[in-house]
Chain A
Amino acid sequence: MEDLELLSDFSSFLKEKKEEGKKIIGFISHDNIPEELFDAGGFIPLRLMFGGNDDLMTASHDFLPPSTCAFAQSCIGLFSLKPRSYKFLEFIDYFLVSNHCVSDICASEIISKYFNIPRLNFYISYTKTNNSLTYLKLELQDLKQNLESIMGSKIENEDLLNSIKKYNNFKKKLLEFNKLYVKGSEKLKIIQKALLFGPDFHPTLENIIQKYKENSNDFENTSKDVILTGCSIFINDYIIDLIEEGGANIVFYDTWIGNSYFSQIISDDLIEAEKDPLNLFVHRFNKNIYGDHSVPNFLENKIAQILDMYHQYKQKTGKKLAVINHIIKFCDHISIMSSFFKNKLQDQGIPVLNLERDYSKANKGQLSTRIEAFLEMI
């Protein structure tokens, strides 16, 4: 079920911001993007975090071959087809071309070039050596300068620090929300909305948390508890319903739309002590054990986190978790490690379903069969 209300609310939200004089920077959704820098500069970060469908994917084939990340395809498709509920994409003033993965570069380049959106660049090293961190600082400085020249004014350190604090607190609030025992799809929808609207959503999130705490009707979970890892579940993606209909309840979103986002919190002490706020981004990148961009420890980090979550959950509830590794077709980072990831976890007695898919509706039956067979198995 497409949530058209969310999109329409978001559209109004963006329109308001534009009327206030803000500029909108679009980018393909993933981590390591310094959204606080945009915020401090008077920009609104708009992350493309929308799930696709057959039409969107097909529309992208005018630009990229079909053997491309299905999510990247859908992002291009949105600009190509301009579906009515996505009219707000026209508000985008700048598009960030970034290299989370090579499909990201390709798609963002295409969106910028063919849909006439001025381009900003931001490239991140694949390793995390000291020199890679130094390089990241260069990119941050370059990006900051570009933003300043667009706005015609300097981004003061104080403003940047305040933005960082704001986003930090927002993530803490999300962490708090994440601890509540809520039905998986409901939790996801709120996290998605939060990431889409950003810290402006903070007060609403606070109210939502209050309501859940007050109601204290713990939701009756008769399903099997699972961790979702791999690629994020984007807005209006049917996969969450398929998973729940199959009999699972997602208790942890070990994806960028989820744990990876709100776990990347910078300590208050560090923020207070740091003279150059750009260094805080470097620090965060360095400590990022969640994202799939960096080499060469991605697989180990991922296994360690899953094991950690698994044991914590078992200790807390006595229940064993299973893992669904959500792989969007042609995702370089998640796909390549999928069989090794599964083997390593299954060796530890943790069942894993590598659920590979694109956004085509035709495959729904096949996906259901896999999900159900997996749940029957555990």
Chain B
Amino acid sequence: MKAFIGIDIGSLATKIVLINEGKLVDHRTERSTYNFKKVGHNLFDDILVKNNLKRSEVYVMSTGYGRNTIDIADDRITEITAHAKGAQYFFPDAHSVIDIGGQDSKAILISKKTGNVVDFQMNDKCAAGTGRFLEVMAHALEVPINEFGDLALGSRKPASISSTCTVFAESEVISLFARGASKEDIAAGIHKSISRRVAGMAKRIGVAPKLIFCGGVAKNNAVKKYLVAELGFEIVSPEYPQLTGAIGAALIAQENNN
């Protein structure tokens, strides 16, 4: 095999990477849409063409929500194992991972000795604790999602949000705003809430440094700030926080083929 491809089909975004001799060579990201099979195929074809590769020269490992349905894959692995591997690509001494995606979040504990997953926790049933929670709240406050984190960072006194449910939290947010709380303070309260929820899940499996924060939400510095506060230690994010799953899948493909 010349190269290895990892494809992470999330419910919101599909990510594809090309690995050669253990190094990231190329990558693509696109919204999955309802037709993620087509999106997957297109990205796959494109990456092959741009890198002068034939189908027979690559081994494809799929992961994520659509891993069983995509037919271009040679093999599949769950996103838990994939993220653990991918995190170690960026940080070989990674001991735990928190991944907050658009529709789910996970915490993974990695063995310092073997680099294998030793425990994990998933939240994929409830929007609270996921990127969706932030989206809903940003929308309620009429703030663009990519500015939401920075807005929150501007607060000195985060509002207290007690609702654990996204639907109720949304009403709570609107009501707080109507009563005169500032957008910054409410935004900070939201970020604190999601961080607390995710940190709670992570603490259940005993996460400890070095903790890698990845997934789309890792780009949000306010979530990072409050996660650090909840966990009590510093956390790091990879250069490409959304690609850890796909990279991990490709690396595992490479390992399996050697």
Which residues does A use to contact B, with CB under 8 Å?
339, 346, 351, 363, 365-366, 368-370, 372-374, 376-377
Contact = CB atoms under 8 A, between A and B. Distances in A.
Contacts of A369: 65, 78-80, 122, 124
A247 to B, nearest CB: 11
Contacts of A370: 122
A377 B122 contact: no
Interface residues of B, number: 16
Nearest to A246: B78
B204 A373 contact: no
B15 to A, nearest CB: 17
Contacts of A365: 65
Given A373-B117, A376-B81, A377-B117, A366 B204 contact: no
Main secondary structure of the interface of A (DSSP, over half): helix
A37 to B, nearest CB: 42
A377 B118 contact: yes
A373 B67 CA distance: 13
Given A373-B80, A376-B81, A377-B80, A363 B120 contact: no
B172 interface: no
A352 to B, nearest CB: 9
Given A369-B78, A369-B80, A376-B78, 5 more contacts: A351-B119, A366-B124, A376-B77, A376-B117, A377-B120
Given A339-B204, A346-B119, A365-B65, A373 B125 contact: no
26 contacts: A339-B204, A346-B119, A351-B118, A351-B119, A365-B65, A366-B122, A366-B125, A369-B65, A369-B78, A369-B79, A369-B122, A369-B124, A372-B78, A373-B78, A373-B80, A373-B81, A373-B120, A373-B122, A376-B77, A376-B78, A376-B80, A376-B117, A377-B81, A377-B116, A377-B117, A377-B118
Interface string B79-123: 111000000000000000000000000000000000011111010
Interface of B: 65, 68, 77-81, 116-120, 122, 124-125, 204
- Closest 3 A/B residue pairs (Cβ): A373-B80, A373-B78, A377-B117
Contacts of A366: 122, 124-125
Contacts of A377: 80-81, 116-120
Contacts of B119: 346, 351, 377
Contacts of B68: 368
A297 to B, nearest CB: 25
Nearest to A346: B119
Nearest to B116: A377
A302 to B, nearest CB: 20
A1 B117 CA distance: 33
Nearest to B118: A377
A366 B78 CA distance: 11
Contacts of B124: 366, 369
Nearest to B68: A368
A123 to B, nearest CB: 35
B121 to A, nearest CB: 9
Contacts of B122: 366, 369-370, 373
A366 B11 CA distance: 12
A201 B239 CA distance: 63
Contacts of A339: 204
Nearest to A245: B68
